[in-house]
Chain A
Amino acid sequence: MSDVSQPAAHPPVTDWLNDFDHTDPQWTENPFPIWDELRAASPVVHTERFLGCYLPTTYEAVREIANDPEHFSSRRIIVRDARPEVTQNAAPPITSDPPVHKPAKQLLLPPFTPDAMKKLEPRVRTICNELIDGFVAEKKVDAAARYTKHIPVRAIAHMLGIPEGDSDLFINWIHMILELGIKDENLLLQAVHEMSDYFRDHIEQRRKHPTDDLISYLMNARNKDGQPLEDAHVLGSLRLLLIAGIDTTWSAIGSSLWHLARTPADRERLIAEPELMPTAVEEFLRAYSPVTMAREVIKERTVSGCPVKPGNMVLLSFPAANRDPKMFPDADKVVIDRRENRHAAFGLGIHRCIGSNLARMEMQVALEEWLKRIPDFRLDPAGTVTWSQGTVRGPRQLPFLLGKAM
């Protein structure tokens, strides 16, 4: 059994180069200058925190690691204070390595193709407009609390066939797993258990009354030997879809709106040239990539000339890679018509985010519907924007004033 750790207060960072900490308030608030400083020093830096952890700072180093599952295992995908025993079927396929990974991933890919997402798009447009209806007449709104937060959770609930009305429950579990759980094992396990119980009930219901949603899809899926998946596998994949599908896209939509609130020129251009939206969405994904995954070093390796040793974790920062000026000219600028944009926001290599087509569709629809109905908005100087900590970065409070500035 694992040690149950208490939530640990981490001392503030004074030496980013040798003692970085992605949960430090300074990183949470504004990580970009930190990454620049570290990148200028080395393609890979190390901290003793989190029982030993590397951070690749360049696009190239991130790519090398992402493409090397032999040396970098995905059995742990979040950098935390503790390293409890690894359990099977935690959240396949993301927590699996080859050769287990591929068949688990292939099962989940067909429901998430671009064509499948086109069918879901009208539902997402309706969700966005229902949300906007709820506050459009007001002068100020917390766009995170009343808009960005609800779009992905309701979309994935719709796909899974679970009640959209249970959204607050899901959001709370994810907060416990991805933020509080970094430092508190108990909260993490509690959320995982509650989530598993929730899905077990739904699996039981569908045994009696099959449906055409994703839960039934997974229950009906067959492995390469023609056998149904074990319940533990179905459960793990359902946990993954819920965890991965919510605050990631919530964050991406929120960061995009945060940018547009502060950048009237981009807002006006997107309204005048709506065909630019897909390109702009890619640029928001690059510049404000929400997701940092992790790997565990399982065999000694050299990355971009830097030796890395087993027993350490790797904070695989796709967001930092996407700010590498060697890969992207004017990497620190948001260029909404950037034509060449090989960004890594959805990961690189075999663990490419299954939900990338869903996230892109949701971002595009959420921004289009917002701009149609609320072309003028800005940050409320009387409010405070707050950002989530750790694995997924995005605004959790987004106070806006709506309408033209007086």
Chain B
Amino acid sequence: MAERLKVHVDPDKCQGHARCKALAPELFELDEYGNAREAGDGTVPVGLEDKAWLAKANCPEIAIDVIEE
């Protein structure tokens, strides 16, 4: 059984590069300034785990955590 993943964007680090939203639109949202936050409570639906890791690996500000629960 794979672990369940959660994504979290650190709002103090995010500068609005919006890479996460482009790579994993299901997992992230942008506010009116284009800054990112996790969609809902950040729970990654089964099958989208790769996208969570990809978003983390491409964030220029290292603002994204992927938490294994």
Contact = CB atoms under 8 A, between A and B. Distances in A.
B34 A112 contact: yes
B32 A110 contact: yes
A343 B58 CA distance: 8
Interface string A356-367: 110000000000
Contacts of B18: 113-114, 356-357
A342 interface: yes
A278 B16 CA distance: 17
A343 B21 contact: no
A295 B19 CA distance: 25
A346 B18 CA distance: 12
A343 B17 CA distance: 11
A278 B32 CA distance: 23
A340 B53 CA distance: 10
A344 B30 CA distance: 20
Give the interface residue-count category, chain B.
Answer: 10 to 19
Contact of A342 (B32, B33, B34, B58): B58
A11 B35 CA distance: 45
A278 B33 contact: no
A264 B32 CA distance: 41
Interface string A365-404: 0000000000000000000000000000000000000000
A350 interface: yes
A352 B16 contact: yes
Nearest to B21: A114
B58 A341 contact: yes
B57 interface: yes
Given A109-B34, A113-B34, A346 B58 contact: no
A348 interface: yes
A352 B30 contact: no
B58 A278 contact: no
B43 interface: no
Interface in A98-117: 106, 109-110, 112-115
Contact of A343 (B15, B33, B60): B60
B61 interface: yes
B34 A278 contact: no
Nearest to A344: B60
Given A114-B18, A356-B17, A348 B30 contact: no
A115 to B, nearest CB: 8
A331 to B, nearest CB: 16
Given A344-B60, A348-B60, A113 B33 contact: yes
B39 interface: no
A339 B32 contact: no
A177 B52 CA distance: 42
Nearest to B25: A114
A318 to B, nearest CB: 10
B59 interface: yes
Given A339-B54, A342-B58, A349 B33 contact: no
B50 to A, nearest CB: 10
Interface string A316-344: 00000000000000000000000111111
Contacts of B34: 109-110, 112-114, 357
Given A106-B33, A350-B15, A352-B17, A114 B22 contact: yes
Nearest to A105: B33
A348 B61 contact: yes
5 contacts: A110-B33, A112-B34, A342-B59, A349-B15, A357-B34
Interface of A: 106, 109-110, 112-115, 278, 282, 339-344, 346, 348-350, 352, 356-357
Given A344-B60, A346-B17, 13 more contacts: A106-B33, A109-B34, A110-B33, A112-B34, A113-B33, A114-B18, A342-B59, A342-B60, A348-B15, A352-B15, A352-B60, A356-B18, A357-B34
